[in-house]
Chain A
Amino acid sequence: MFTRRSDLPLDKDTLSRFLPWLIAFMVFLAVMAMAGVLVLNTVAARWDRGVSGTLTVQIIPAENAVDDDARLQTVLKILTETPEVNHFETLSKDKLLTLLEPWLGTSAGAKDLPLPQMVDVELKPKAKLDVNALSQRMEARVSGVSIDDHSIWLSRLVRLIRTVEGLATLVLVFIALATIGTVIFTTRTGLALHRNAIEVLHFIGAQDSYVAAQFAGRALGLGLKGGIIGLLLAVPSLLGIGVMAAKMESGMLPDITLGVAHWSALAALPIIVALIAMLTARITVMKTLSRML
């Protein structure tokens, strides 16, 4: 792919032998971090869509069941009168018991326990419901009613996800900086190592850009080589994690497989890293040479 004849013996540097492996490692880390960001983004978006727009109304049981039923009917009536509500459903006692089974067991006595009544409410898409106002309206007519709009739980979750995403992005930035630093270092060493040859090229009339192109081409080649190695190492790891996640997906984890767009973004990482390496080498050479005679 890069059979460009080089006027400088850059291939023989031990430094350029270690550069691809370092870049491979960087790209591996970058792919993992970026896959993490992409997955978390998807998860956050799905949870957000799934949970916002729903409410749970809970009616604490009073002394007698007749009363409880009247309170439920009032709550349902208020919900019917609320224009933002799309749909609501009272959780049957059986379903409630099934949900609580892990804690209460299946003993007959559990059936006699006073359980709160729950109403799942689904709001109209994009409806902006003032939850506090609704809550006040209900409390004015029914006692022992509380509304949970999941907003606290959701905002905490989203904040957690954003924090992890921020950290992963920071990791990506560090990887970019480390790559740039390494390429600057190897390029400067290469310049010092081949100073004599570069001087001769200058005397013969080579522009700085001619010399820089040799270093840049080399960095691009090594960057791509390292980047592809890193990507090839990262893919099995990602697939492995995906399989493990799929196995435990029964519960609360949303679907976390990567889409085609995600895979393309990850595949672009080696190219991006190689381009960073190329540009860095070029800029380093141009800057260093401009200080020579």
Chain B
Amino acid sequence: MTTNENDAIVKFENVGLRYGLGPEVLQDVTFSLAPGSFHFLVGPSGAGKSSLLKLIYLALKPTRGLISLFGRDIATTSRRDLPPIRRRVGVVFQEFRLLNHLSAFDNVALPLRIAGAKKSEIQKHVVELLSWVGLKDHLDARPPTLSGGQQQRVSIARAVIARPKILLADEPTGNVDDPMGMRLMHLFEELNKLGTTVIIATHNNLMVEKMGYPKMHLDEGWLEMVGTGPHPATPPPRPGLSDMEGYL
């Protein structure tokens, strides 16, 4: 499958990144992702996976090269115009980054509130999604009182609640057992089927091989695109997930 340059939802051209005066942690990274694609971002620890994702969710600026999202060159986009772009990018942070003074419910509701959604809608969708990730009984819990795996699920729920066009997940299954890990992966797949472009950084090679999506392989800052996985446009419906359609 070839990607038309103009259609790419994420495009990197000769992107280099260094922290301060340190060495380049990303070097000449060039790729483009088609809308609706699903990729795993793999590579050893310290390879630059998190850094690459940070560039996409606009937490960092590249030291060189060109990044465009949704066909817009980020470098020439004014600060005022970034929030609407960010709202279309959902992020599962490696360290969760939940707001500790807010309940699980309020954390997940945040993207909808920022986007100005109706109160009744927020209530309905947030409760549904938190129930689906197994946190029905923890709606009012503050993140510090939750286990690592529970926090991770809250953070995933927050990332997907507003149906982003791009979903970035940094080691999203690192703190949960395998059945829950697969369940969460299915959530990402479901989102992908509804048109979201997904990039998941992970160590879990077993899961990567099992699911068979194409890989972006990073090593010491160099990126290599590996394999062309199944096209996500017409997947077979998965039993047990159809109830997701309501809010995804």
Contacts and interface: CB of A to CB of B under 8 A. Distances in A.
Interface residues of A, number: 19
Interface of A: 5, 7-9, 12, 196-197, 199-207, 210, 290, 293
A204 B58 contact: no
A7 B59 contact: no
A206 B83 contact: yes
Interface in B77-99: 79-80, 83-88, 91, 97, 99
Contacts of B83: 202, 205-207
Contact of B97 (A8, A196, A205): A196
28 contacts: A5-B106, A7-B99, A7-B102, A7-B113, A8-B101, A12-B101, A199-B59, A199-B97, A200-B99, A201-B110, A201-B114, A202-B83, A202-B86, A203-B57, A203-B59, A203-B97, A204-B86, A204-B158, A205-B83, A205-B84, A205-B87, A205-B114, A206-B83, A207-B83, A210-B114, A293-B58, A293-B59, A293-B61
Given A7-B102, A197-B99, A206 B61 contact: no
Contacts, number: 50
A196 to B, nearest CB: 7
Interface residues of B, number: 25
Contacts of A8: 101
Interface string B45-83: 000000000000111110000000000000000011001
Contacts of A201: 110, 114
Contacts of B87: 204-205
A201 B82 CA distance: 13
A77 to B, nearest CB: 84
B227 to A, nearest CB: 30
B172 interface: no
Contact of A205 (B86, B99, B106): B86
A202 B110 CA distance: 11
The 9 closest A-B pairs by CB, nearest first: A205-B87, A9-B101, A205-B86, A205-B83, A206-B114, A207-B83, A204-B111, A200-B97, A197-B99
A11 to B, nearest CB: 9
A214 B114 CA distance: 12
Nearest to A292: B79
Nearest to B80: A207
A195 to B, nearest CB: 12
Contacts of A202: 83, 86
B114 A204 contact: yes
A154 B17 CA distance: 77
B166 to A, nearest CB: 12
Contacts of A210: 114
A200 B113 CA distance: 14
Contacts of A5: 106
B146 interface: no
Contact of A203 (B79, B80, B91, B101): B91
A196, A204, A293 pick with most chain B CB within 10 angstroms: A204
